[in-house]
A = this chain, B = another copy of it.
Amino acid sequence: MNKYRDIGFKLTPQRLAILDYLEGNQQHPSAEDIYRAVLKTFPTISFATVYTTLAALKQKGKLLELSTDPSKKRYDPDTSCHSHLFCVSCKRVFDMPGEHTPVLPESVKRDFSITRSHVEFHGLCAGCKKNKSETSKEVAHVHRS
Contact = CB atoms under 8 A, between A and B. Distances in A.
A74 to B, nearest CB: 11
A108 B114 contact: no
Given A100-B102, A100-B103, A102-B100, A111 B129 contact: yes
A60 B113 CA distance: 35
Copies of this chain per assembly: 2
Interface residues of A, number: 36
B126 A111 contact: yes
Contacts of A137: none
Interface of A: 65, 67-68, 70, 73, 83, 85, 88, 94, 96-98, 100, 102-105, 108, 111-126, 129, 132
